[in-house]
Structure 1
Amino acid sequence: MDESEFLAERFEAHRGHLRAVAYRMLGSLSEADDAVQEAWLRLSRSGSGGIDNLGGWLTTVVGRVCLDILRSRTSRGEEPLAGRVPDPLVSSAEGIDPEQQALLADSVGLALLVVLETLSPAERLAFVLHDMFAVPFEEIAPMVGRTPTAARQLASRARRRVQGAAPVADADLTRQREVVDAFLAASRGGDFDALVALLDPDVVLRADTGAAAVPMEFRGARAVAGQALAFQRFAQFARPALVNGTVGVVTAPEGQPMAVMGFTIRRGKIVELDILADVERLRRLNLTAL
């Protein structure tokens, strides 16, 4: 094995971890893969000589690349829109794809990713690297051009926003499936009262239909139940799936994926419903096998 092959082998051992970092930072699977690829290009150009901790070095590089991407979004005026849904991780209802296991560690649900989208780039970096991957603030500080104390404050501020806005889903998948099945049955039957009974009074529905349209957001049980009734004619095409590790559905009339729906269920009630209906993004998720 020559040096380049040895370096590539060492890099591959870290790829899953690096994708997990980038996915949490960016909420985009394609951009996460781009960030990981950039880390490989930088490593292949510089070599591993003088790098004592390759995993730490690569995590820092991916963090910096993701920070640049987030700042580029901001400079282009791409502020988070109400209703914007990050890329979901969709698996068969029977179990999570092994390749997604690392991406889903720490229960990274869509509800959490939506909240991360509202943080500033520096806050997101500090929170993701420290709270999710235990990177010391002394290593985070140079990335954001702050002191370690200031980096700690960034993470603390982000943590408060996450804890106040990202609901924690019930862990029981069987109970989740019962609630989602009841929701679909009520949608198919046009039963408004049954839908309201399944929804938390403060439920939030986000519907992201693509870059050309402004994402929609609806709040409150009656408003969301009304939107569910509008979905009635497509409910018959809904098939069970796991969306970021929790129960969800893929809607595919005539086998063509039209929407992915992720449910956040707490205490037996639906508290968030995130719908991705952007055809181009769905195509990149390769859902046909489901």
Structure 2
Amino acid sequence: MDSAAVDRFEAGRGRLASLAYRLLGSAADAEDAVQDAFLRWQAADREQVRVPEAWLTKVVTNLCLDRLRSAQTRHERAAGAWLPEPLLDGDPMLGPAETFEQRESVSLAVLTLLERLSPVERAVYVLREAFSYSHAEIAGILDITESASQQHVHRARTRVAAERHRGAGTDPASARRVVEEFLAAAMSGRTERLVALLTDDVTAVSDGAGLAKRLLRYRTRERVATFVRAGFKPTPAKRRLAGGSPAFHIAVVNGSTAVLAVVDGRVAGAVAFEVIDDKVASLHGIAASDRLARLDEAWRRHEPDAPVISAW
């Protein structure tokens, strides 16, 4: 393959990777899908490809659909122990973030909700909401009719909206203040203060420090506050599990304010917060090492602020 063809692919690699990440929720799987697309680009009769960007978008989208439909993937995700792979702010795989829809489509809350859609509904939703493709373009990518594309996106929007928290968004500085106050209350054991910082319809999802066979899910302010207090309460067993005594940093993960537990420069856990109306509306806790690999790698290259809690 000549250098011009390679350059043309590389020019669109970032966009393709961010598309694949939104479809799969996994950076590692997204990279594999993009590499498979490169191999197909290499083997294609490129003189017959009139619009390379459209051709590559179709290839990547359908490779991702194949992965979502595979028996192994269905089994892993149906087992209820799957959460999206978190990415540190600035990761190019997060892709476009100019509009509210683009930012929301990559949040851990929405990526988790997209698991409830069919593969085609998920693809239509992502192509329409995050990348602003027309229904005619989506129809061509997925080999469906424009009417079917419209129906799929309507169903997807309805299902996502039904599970989304409603309220006014909170600016980053205020969200950080709320999360810092929340963390302080969790560490101090002030459960009543935790309850006051939660919305009435708060939800919490955790992978159980990477040990649970199924995701741990909590609803109601009291249950979430109890879960958070227990999770942040330091014990010798938790220190052994983390590999030491972590420091806690505030960071931005998938567009949301997050708390990272860092041991000797290694990210041992991440909790992403969705803050609405100056209260915590949802939490996503991830500690499985295979889900933190890319975030950890980015963190090691990062120059973080001082930890909000230096010793646990």
2:218 corresponds to which residue? Answer: 218
After superposition, give the CA deviation of every residue in 1:75-107 in whole Å (9 maximum; x if it has no partner): 74344465732011113xxxx35x356265511
Alpha-carbon distance in 2 for matches of 1:222, 1:247: 22
Aligned: 1:238 with 2:237: no
Q: Distance in 2 between matches of 1:174 and 1:73?
A: 43
Q: 2: CA distance between counterparts of 1:28 and 1:104?
A: 18
Unaligned runs of 5+ in 2: 239-244, 303-312
Contact 1:204 1:218 (8 Å CA) reproduced: yes
Equivalent residue number for residue 227 of structure 2: 227
Identity rate, percent:
36
Query: Please, which moves more after superposition, 190-199 or 203-212?
Result: 203-212
Contact 1:23 1:103 in 2 (8 A): no
Q: Following superposition of structure 1 onto structure 2, how do residues 110-121 of structure 1 map, counting pairs within 5 Å?
A: 110-121=108-119
CA contact (8 A) 2:170 2:278 kept: no
Kept in 1, the 8 Å contact 2:170–2:277? The answer is: no
> Which of these residues, 110, 116, 124, is aligned with residue 126 of structure 1?
124
Kept in 2: contact 1:22–1:36 (CA 8 A): yes
SS at 1:86 equivalent: coil
**What are the within-5 Å matches in structure 2 for residues 127-276 of structure 1?**
127-141=125-139, 144=142, 146-167=144-165, 170-208=169-207, 209-210=209-210, 213-230=213-230, 231-233=232-234, 237-276=247-286
Q: How does 1:85-100 map to 2 (within 5 A)?
A: 85-91=83-89, 96-97=90-91, 99-100=92-93
- Partner amino acid for 2:217? E
Structure 1 residue 284 displacement after superposition: 4.1
Which amino acid in 2 is paired with 1:227?
F
SS in 1 for 2:217: strand
Task: String of CA shifts for 1:107-126, please: whole Å, max 9, x gaps.
Answer: 12111111111111111111
CA contact (8 A) 2:20 2:60 kept: yes
Residues in 2 aligned to 1:28 and 1:123: alpha-carbon distance in whole angstroms: 18
Return the letter of the residue paired with 2:233: Q
Supply the distance in 1 between the matched residues of 2:61 and 2:111 (Cα, whole angstroms). 16
Aligned position for 1:102: 95
Change (3 A) 1:80 1:178: farther
1:182-216 CA-to-partner distances (Å, cap 9, x unmatched) read 01110111111111111112111110244862111
1:77 and 1:145, CA in 2 relative to 1: closer, same or farther beyond 3 A?
Answer: farther
**AA in 1 matched with 2:184:** A
CA separation in 1, counterparts of 2:174 and 2:78? 32
State the shift of 1:48 in Å: 2.1
CA change 1:150–1:52 in 2 (3 A) is same
Residues 137 and 211 (structure 1 numbering): CA distance in 2 closer, same or farther, change over 3 Å?
farther
Q: TM-score scaled to structure 2, two decimals?
A: 0.83
CA distance in 2, matches of 1:47, 1:242: 43
How many aligned residue pairs are there? 283
Distance 1:277 1:212, change over 3 A: same
Corresponding position: 1:281 with 2:291: yes
Contact 1:82–1:206 (Cα < 8 Å) also in 2? no
5+ residue gaps in structure 1? none
What do the CA deviations read for 1:13-63 (whole angstroms, capped 9, x no partner)?
Answer: 111111111111110000111111111110111142122211111111111
RMSD: 2.4
CA–CA separation in structure 2 for the residues paired with 1:148 and 1:80? 30
Maintained 8 Å contact 1:210/1:278: yes
- CA distance in 2 between counterparts of 1:22 and 1:14 reads 12
Task: Name the CA distance, whole Å, in 1 between partners of 2:170 and 2:9.
Answer: 34
